[in-house]
Structure 1
């Protein structure tokens, strides 16, 4: 009697486990069906069906959808990291701004100094351009001297070419320096805007 009761108790104890048992099923790349209490190795990368203890499909696993979900998750995580980095950099720039300026007047004074430096550089470049042009005019007069007499020296032609290259380089630098005024003003406009936002936020 006792052994029969023990067997019955064991069966009853295992019944919930059997009811909860699940398995996986798929068709492998070789066309064969595979089953297992865990996902069989041949099922990796294939559509998989999850079955309950009665053999009913309770879930379908699409590997392509899973891959897309992973990619979406990775993209979202990357976006969050980039946003965190951008926020950290913005905070650093804000601290640097407040450490650099103590008032809006400080910003305008810094703008004035930057524009003055730019104007000084422009005048220096313009002076160099004038000197190069005068030097080139001297070379051209020498060329006129040789017309109808003999061929100008090779060194003279070389000097003219060098003067042309130097003039072109300085004119390019002058144009860049003049454009720099807009960049300087844009920088200090942005600094002033951020300074006002930060100081009024306190």
Structure 2
């Protein structure tokens, strides 16, 4: 069995090089202690870069580095999600007419609910007028009215209050829906612009 040439047997270590905090270029046949806080390059004998050695960090520095990487990843994920939402928005609303049509339909549904609630509110008002007419017999003094009438008045008060609250909630929902469509339209106007490059 032939012996391997000495040049093939040898596996010389690389040369480490870095620029320290003072701006000096330092070289060594092993990792350089003065450059542990910065990147070092390990060079081949030909002078080409064999590998890059990452800086060594303290536990606190590593934690800060990890946190920055985590925040960057979160920001990138948010950007991807925002692009996804924009594409979905454009598919749903390719133009202003489609967006306004959806707004009109959404507001129309709420208006129908409010109209129905107001009708019920009117019915409750008519029922209350009958109860008030009965109360006149007792000089509008509930304490003098019979228990059945007092109960009906209390139930009427509760029903009227619930109906009024429900109508108010629907009016608030109508404002929220309009605001959502307004906000969408602002974004869509930017996305509809021909100069926008969609990725």
**Could you say if the C-alpha distance between residues 67 and 170 of structure 1 is closer, same or farther in structure 2, counting changes exceeding 3 Å?**
farther
**Could you say if the C-alpha distance between residues 72 and 166 of structure 1 is closer, same or farther in structure 2, counting changes exceeding 3 Å?**
farther
Is 1:120 the equivalent of 2:112?
yes
For 1:154 and 1:67, locate their aligned partners in 2 and report how far apart those are by CA, in whole Å. 77
1:59-138 to structure 2, matched below 5 A, reads 66-138=58-130
Instruction: Give the equivalent residue in structure 2 for 1:175.
Output: 168
Going by fraction, where is helix more abundant, 1 or 2? 1
SS at match of 2:137: helix
Q: Normalising by structure 2, what TM-score?
A: 0.58
Is 1:155 the equivalent of 2:148?
yes
Ranges in structure 1 where 5+ consecutive residues have no aligned partner: 1-56, 60-64
State the structure with more CA Rg: 1
Figure out how many residues of one structure are paired with residues of the other and give that number.
Answer: 142
**Could you say if the C-alpha distance between residues 133 and 67 of structure 1 is closer, same or farther in structure 2, counting changes exceeding 3 Å?**
farther
For 2:147 and 2:61, locate their aligned partners in 1 and report how far apart those are by CA, in whole Å. 73
Deviation per residue, 1:64-102 (Å, 9 max, x gap): x94543442343233223223322321221122122122
For 2:90 and 2:34, locate their aligned partners in 1 and report how far apart those are by CA, in whole Å. 60
SS at match of 1:102: coil
**Could you say if the C-alpha distance between residues 68 and 146 of structure 1 is closer, same or farther in structure 2, counting changes exceeding 3 Å?**
same
Deviation per residue, 1:5-61 (Å, 9 max, x gap): xxxxxxxxxxxxxxxxxxxxxxxxxxxxxxxxxxxxxxxxxxxxxxxxxxxx979xx
**Could you say if the C-alpha distance between residues 87 and 143 of structure 1 is closer, same or farther in structure 2, counting changes exceeding 3 Å?**
same
Instruction: Give the equivalent residue in structure 2 for 1:165.
Output: 158
**Could you say if the C-alpha distance between residues 195 and 141 of structure 1 is closer, same or farther in structure 2, counting changes exceeding 3 Å?**
same
For 1:133 and 1:125, locate their aligned partners in 2 and report how far apart those are by CA, in whole Å. 12
Instruction: Give the equivalent residue in structure 2 for 1:52.
Output: none
For 2:147 and 2:63, locate their aligned partners in 1 and report how far apart those are by CA, in whole Å. 68
For 1:139 and 1:68, locate their aligned partners in 2 and report how far apart those are by CA, in whole Å. 75
Is 1:194 the equivalent of 2:195?
no
